[in-house]
């Protein structure tokens, strides 16, 4: 399928197909927008069925990064890269160095970091060939605590809208993926804020410990959707709000860390129809990318990060206000605001040129 006719093509600025016969590298780098700064987004390595599947993934993910970065008010654009995992044995260090050469060819239009299937060590190997990488070992480190802090603030916004107060004491919250990198920090914040917690995770031993420490109730993984709670915080998988789960939800709001929570865009309208508030995932979970700014420039220090997290809280409030005022689903409102901001940035950049 051609790139320009692809259904996920959204006026992407650049799409680079990189092949290196020696290492077996087959990668696609998609730069969705640099209107507001260099495009940043992780590299995902996956056993894609074919290059068409990889292209679809990278076009969608790079657009998502543009939206996430602009909604977090970062001086960044959006991009993403995918590597088609070679079959059989391959030299991982050489493969990532070749990937680094592909990044370098974009001369700083795109910065890569890790994503699914890629480790900080892989990015270190890419670093041998390019300076345009972030999230290296010894840098700003694990983004999860900052992501969790942002999600915690977002849960408070959701509580304010859905329950009339941001005070979480006694508020019942169901957390899926409770023992994960983000989940465990979030659970700690919610516990300290006095919430009554219901936790699910496939990691049973870690879950038992966490539940004991936070006086929480353990819920079987398939029962987490139907808990009689006020808020559902998905912090594990994507597509958890889908036709099979939506009618089991008893909560008044969905606010969590997981990427791509809605299986399809129309699930936002389905939530709204049921009177359930939704905190769009790429708005509430941008703490990690905010944290990564510290890798680009030391002026982005802890105080700056804290200010940006408070900004996320405000943006989420604006999205929810507009969703209510316009009767439009929050995910659609967020996409609209993101597109407006990107267009404004594009016009500013063109005028400054």
Measuring CA to CA, which residue among 32, 29, 27, 40 is closest to residue 13?
Answer: 32
Q: Which of 13, 201, 230, 270 binds ligand NAD (CB under 6 A)?
A: 201
The verdict on 190 binding ligand NAD (CB under 6 A) reads no
Q: Are 233 and 175 spatial neighbours (Cβ–Cβ below 8 Å)?
A: yes
Residue 114 backbone class (left: φ over 0; alpha: ψ -120 to 50; beta: rest): beta
Of residues 1 and 237, the one with the C-beta less far from ligand NAD: 237
Contact between 182 and ligand NAD by CB under 6 A: the answer reads: yes
Q: What is the spatial distance between Cα 235 and Cα 178, in angstroms, rounded to a whole number?
A: 7
Min dist CB 186 to ligand NAD, Å, is 9
Residue 30, marked binder: no
* 182 known member of a binding site: yes
Residues 135, 123 contacting (CB under 8 angstroms): yes
When the beta carbons of 72 and 106 are compared against ligand NAD, the nearer one is 72
The three-point CA angle 232-292-119 to 5° equals 85
Cβ proximity of 29 and 110 under 8 Å? yes
Residue 266: Cβ within 10 Å count: 13
Site string for ligand NAD, 227-256 (x = CB under 6 A): --------xxx-------------------
Q: Which of 207, 36, 189, 18 is nearest to 109 (CA)?
A: 36
Is 108 known to sit in a ligand binding site? Answer: no
| In 103-209, beta strands by DSSP E | 110-114, 172-176, 196-200
Annotated binding residue 37: no
Catalytic residue, from 22, 26, 68, 80: name it.
80
183, 280, 311, 329: residue in contact with ligand NAD (rule CB under 6 A) = 183
**Among 1, 202, 302, 347, which residue interacts with ligand NAD (rule: CB under 6 A)?**
202
Number of residues that bind ligand NAD (CB under 6 A): 23
DSSP string, 301-328: -HHHHHHHHHHHHHHHHHHHHHHHHHT-
User: What is the torsion angle, in degrees rounded to the nearest 10, for the CA atoms of residue 184, residue 190, residue 196 and residue 198?
Assistant: -30
Q: State which residue has the least CB distance to ligand NAD.
A: 180
- Please select the residue that binds ligand NAD; options are 257, 279, 292, 320, rule is CB under 6 A: 257
Please, which of residues 133-152 interact with ligand NAD by CB under 6 A?
143-144, 147
Which one among 200, 233, 305, 320 touches ligand NAD, defined by CB under 6 A?
Answer: 200
Active site residue 80: yes
Among 23, 66, 176, 216, binds ligand NAD (CB under 6 A): 176
**Helix, strand, coil distribution of the chain in percent, nearest 5:** 45, 15, 35
Residues 259-318 that bind ligand NAD (CB under 6 A): 259, 285, 288
Contact between residue 80 and residue 30 where contact means Cβ atoms under 8 Å apart: yes
Cβ at position 146, least distance to ligand NAD in Å: 7
Nearest approach, Cβ of residue 207 and ligand NAD (Å):
8
Closest separation in Å from C-beta 256 to ligand NAD: 8
CB-CB neighbours of 219 under 10 Å: 23
Q: Hey, which residues are catalytic here? A: 80
- Binding site: what residues are annotated? 177-183
- Binding site for NAD(+): what residues are annotated? 177-183
Residues that bind ligand NAD (CB under 6 A): 143-144, 147, 176-177, 179-183, 200-203, 221, 235-237, 257-259, 285, 288
């Amino acid at each position: 399928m051609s790139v320009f006719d692809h259904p996920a093509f959204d006026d992407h600025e650049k799409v680079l197909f990189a092949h290196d016969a020696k290492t077996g590298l087959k990668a696609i780098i998609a730069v969705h927008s640099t209107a507001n700064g260099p495009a940043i987004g992780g590299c995902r390595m996956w056993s894609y069925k074919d290059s068409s599947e990889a292209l679809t993934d990278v076009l969608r993910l790079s657009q998502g990064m543009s939206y996430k970065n602009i909604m977090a008010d970062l001086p960044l654009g959006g991009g993403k890269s995918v590597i088609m995992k070679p079959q059989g044995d391959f030299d991982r260090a050489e493969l990532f160095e070749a990937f680094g050469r592909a990044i370098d060819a974009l001369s700083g239009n795109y910065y890569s970091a890790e994503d699914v299937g890629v480790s900080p060590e892989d990015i270190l190997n890419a670093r041998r060939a390019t300076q345009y990488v972030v999230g290296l070992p010894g840098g700003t480190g694990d983004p999860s605590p900052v992501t969790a802090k942002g999600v915690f603030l977002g849960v408070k916004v959701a509580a304010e809208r859905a329950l009339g107060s941001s005070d979480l004491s006694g508020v019942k919250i169901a957390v899926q993926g409770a023992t994960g990198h983000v989940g465990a920090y979030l659970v700690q914040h919610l516990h300290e804020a006095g919430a009554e917690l219901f936790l699910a995770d496939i990691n049973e031993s870690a879950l038992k410990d966490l539940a004991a420490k936070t006086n929480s109730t353990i819920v079987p993984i398939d029962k987490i959707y139907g808990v009689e709670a006020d808020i559902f915080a998905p912090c594990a998988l994507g597509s958890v709000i889908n036709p099979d789960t939506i009618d089991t939800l008893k909560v008044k709001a969905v606010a969590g860390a997981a990427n791509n929570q809605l299986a399809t865009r129309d699930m936002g309208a389905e939530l709204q129809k049921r009177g359930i508030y939704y905190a769009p995932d790429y708005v509430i979970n941008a703490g990690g990318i905010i944290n990564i700014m510290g890798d680009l420039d030391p002026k982005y220090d802890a105080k700056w990060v804290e200010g940006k997290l408070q900004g996320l809280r405000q943006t989420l409030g604006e999205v929810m206000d507009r969703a209510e005022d316009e009767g439009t689903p929050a995910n659609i409102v967020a996409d609209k605001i993101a597109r407006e901001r990107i267009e404004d940035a594009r016009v500013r950049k063109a005028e400054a040129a």
